[in-house]
Amino acid sequence: MADLATIANKDPAPRTIWPGPARGPRVLIYSHDTFGLGHLRRSRALANAIVGDHADASVVIISGSPVIGNFEFGSGVDYIRIPGVTKLPDGDYRTLNLNVSLDEAVGLRQALILQTAKAFQPDVFIVDKEPTGFRGEVVPALDYLQAVGCRLVLGIRDVMDEPALLIPEWERKGAREALIRYYDEIWVYGLKDVHQPLQAFDLPEEVSRRITYTGYLRREIPPTPSLTKYPKITKQPFILVTTGGGGDGDDLIDWVISAYEADQTLEQPALILFGPFIDRDTRRAFVERIAKQPKLDVMSFDNKIERLMKKADAIVAMGGYNTFCEALSFDKRTLIVPRTKPRLEQYIRAVEAERLGLVRMLSDHNEPRTPERMAAALKALSSQPRPSEVTIPGLLDGLDRVQERLKALTKSAIQLTPAYHQAAE
């Protein structure tokens, strides 16, 4: 077997520029996916929208998520799964499956990312959230793709974290310097009037001009039905309680269950969706408690959660980016119960969304987490305004704006000649 590093550094064949009958636009998306489902689901939404707008487009997602194969992608989208890593409770990382050191795993991931870039020859490379990737693993690919004229885009969610934590984190990773050096455009998947995630960095004016606020990424119902059998509770108006991937949603689930245990006057039933990453012992304990409550039921995981959200009368969630987009897209009354550790991202988003009248928030940030508070919030859901009752221009225009920018970027790539690329190589 050939040495992986040798393969990764082998010079590619001369690049051929699209368009033309032989080649449509090519987009490579990097999603580091060290924890949860957020980055993967956002990348999937972008990829499906791209091929939906360009019938001849090809999109490859590079992901470390162990569950990427459970999701449905549009025609023209494929993925490459690199070895996974996972975040530990103390904030450190380890390899997910391989019996190798973290440094070895990162080296392997880095080589695979670079080789994919050389073999696929994308016109646009979209990096999700981390300007340098996990532990700098995407930098060699950025160097190579920048040299051959590929357009480089950093895509970030509306809220990253509070500046006091984000600034030192980005300094440690060299993220600000990478932002200035590499990226042709920066897409913020939100609205400037809601939050400006990069405002604290005092970026040069030339970099600030590269920022586009796209609006939130609208979600659609998957074209094919879910193979998951829904509980009987979903045949009547119900509250959907979701914690995304489930790896950090124990507190929310416990709080909801405790509300039903303490208040027998709660009339509307609730379906609790665990997510694929919930701890097994914790899940078992929750299932035992839920079984004793006639107005509660449970599901482990649904890879087409959009259909379940559409069926629900209301949503209770932690307020991660994707769930927030789905709540807006399906116009659901939503109660956000944000986590506040180790990041304030969800809390900041919930505060701003509540200010605008899009959702209501229940937090234990400064108040006790009592069953009575949760029960009262659940009862209030039925009279809460829907997001559509608030008019905010461009709120869900994210995918449309992404399509506009992609067309502009790929059009500029056409102007680069093959001779330029060969010289760069």
Convert 287-313 to b/e letters by CB count within 10 Å (16 or more is b): eebbeebeebbbbebbbbbbbbbbebe
- Dump pLDDT digits (tens) for 328-357: 999 999 999 998 887 889 999 999 999 999
pLDDT value for 416: 52
Is residue 245 scored above 90 in pLDDT?
Answer: no
Per-position DSSP letters for 66-83, written without gaps between them: TTGGGS---TTEEEEEPP
Q: What is the mean pLDDT of residues 129-153?
A: 96
pLDDT value for 120: 97
Enter the DSSP assignment of 124.
E
Q: What is the mean pLDDT of residues 15-39?
A: 69
Q: What is the mean pLDDT of residues 31-47?
A: 80
pLDDT value for 414: 53
Is residue 158 scored above 70 in pLDDT?
Answer: yes
Q: What is the mean pLDDT of the chain?
A: 88
Q: What is the mean pLDDT of residues 90-119?
A: 92
The sign of the CA dihedral 35, 38, 40, 43 is negative
- 34 pLDDT tier (thresholds 50, 70, 90): low
Decide which of 412 and 216 is more confident: 216
- 280 pLDDT tier (thresholds 50, 70, 90): confident
- Walk me through the domains of the chain, giving residue ranges and CATH numbers: 4-218+396-418 (3.40.50.2000), 232-389 (3.40.50.2000)
Instruction: Report whether the peptide linkage leading into residue 294 is cis, meaning its omega lies within 30 degrees of zero.
Output: no
Q: Please, is 175 exposed, middle or buried when counting C-beta atoms within 10 Å of its C-beta (0-12, 13-18, 19+)?
A: buried
Q: What is the mean pLDDT of residues 283-309?
A: 92
pLDDT value for 359: 97
pLDDT value for 81: 93
Q: Which stretch of 40-44, 292-296, 377-381 has the lowest confidence by average pLDDT?
A: 40-44
Is residue 20 scored above 70 in pLDDT?
Answer: no
pLDDT value for 70: 79
The sign of the CA dihedral 211, 212, 213, 216 is negative
Q: What is the mean pLDDT of residues 186-214?
A: 94
Task: Output Rg (C-alpha) for the chain, integer angstroms.
Answer: 22
Q: Cα 316 to chain center, whole Å? A: 18
Is residue 290 scored above 70 in pLDDT?
Answer: yes
Is residue 77 scored above 60 in pLDDT?
Answer: yes
- Dump pLDDT digits (tens) for 356-388: 999 999 998 778 899 999 999 999 999 999 999
Is residue 265 scored above 70 in pLDDT?
Answer: yes
- 393 pLDDT tier (thresholds 50, 70, 90): very high
Q: Which pairing describes strands 77-81 and 270-273: parallel, antiparallel, or unpaired? A: unpaired
pLDDT value for 417: 40
Decide which of 419 and 97 is more confident: 97
Is residue 5 scored above 60 in pLDDT?
Answer: no
pLDDT value for 2: 37
**Strands of the sheet with 151-157, listed across from one edge:** 77-81, 58-63, 26-31, 124-128, 151-157, 185-189, 211-213
pLDDT value for 35: 57
Q: What is the mean pLDDT of residues 12-34?
A: 66
Is residue 418 scored above 60 in pLDDT?
Answer: no
pLDDT value for 19: 44
pLDDT value for 350: 96
